[in-house]
Amino acid sequence: MTRGRRGNCIGAAAIVAIGLAAAPVGAQTGTMATGSETDSMMDMSDGMDMSGGMDMSAIPRIPPVFGYAAGEDIHFIHTEASDTKIADLLTDMMGSPVPVVPSLADIPAGLLAHVYVFENGVQPDGPRGPLGFQPDVFDRPAGAEDYTPLRQIMLANWEDGSKPRVLRSADEVETAEADGELRITGSGIVVNMPFLTWPGGQR
């Protein structure tokens, strides 16, 4: 079995994101709009051109990426990364620019979720992760109370003598690690990876 370790650049391979929740109407004044005020504002927005007159067909589209969370298929995007090599890798992989934001690496670990990127193991016929093995696995998916799109890349390696298989949830990853089958290493690299679809929901 190939250990496929490619240094931190690998982790960079996988890829997390910051889904900013919209502030409630009236937040700038320190007051919450009433239901009637909100309805009125929504009515005013009907038919408004929110694109600034830009041809919708010309608006850039960010390619979605396939992964797993809570045992189900999900899709996400890479918007920014803290590491230059990783940002370049993701840009080349998806054909869409991923800006470098070094300050993402300064975010306290307790505020970050994890994305598990596999450096060896199963190479499925369908979608694969950035390193050519199984798709990335996410904990704390959208829909969960502790969801956050900001994720540290965790590098996953199957140990010699283990039985590599496709894992589809963070629980499965943690169990394999606890059983001595999988070795998990933090990369220190943070990626902003907002979900587009998740178990029970989508944008």
In this prediction, residue 121 carries a pLDDT of: 98
Average pLDDT, the chain: 82
pLDDT at residue 48, rounded to an integer: 60
Query: How many angstroms separate the CA atoms of 156 and 130, rounded?
Result: 13
Which pLDDT score, from 0 to 100, does residue 192 have?
98
- Exposure of 134 by Cβ count < 10 A (0-12 exposed, 13-18 middle, 19+ buried)? buried
7-22 pLDDT per residue, tens: 444 444 443 333 333 3
Query: Do the beta carbons of residue 91 and residue 79 sit within 8 Å?
Result: no
What is the mean pLDDT of the segment spanning 73-98?
94
Give the pLDDT score at 63: 87
> 84-94 and 7-14 helices cross at what angle (nearest 10)?
50
Q: Which residue has the higher pLDDT, 4 or 66?
A: 66
Mind listing the pLDDT tens digit for each residue in 107-121? 999 999 999 999 999
SS3 assignment for the chain: CCCCCCHHHHHHHHCCCCCCCCCCCCHHHCCCCCHHHHHHHHHHHCCCCCCCCCCHHHCCCCCCEEEEECCEEEEECCCEECCHHHHHHHHHHHCCCCCECHHHHHCCHHHCEEEEEECCCCCCCCCCCCCCCCCEEECCCCCCCCCCCEEEEEEEEECCCCCCCCCCCHHHHHHHHHCCCEEEEEEEEEEECCEEEECCEEC
Torsion, Cα of 83, 185, 171, 128 (10° steps): 60
Give the pLDDT score at 32.
42
Quote the CA–CA distance of 107 and 34 in Å, as a whole number. Answer: 36
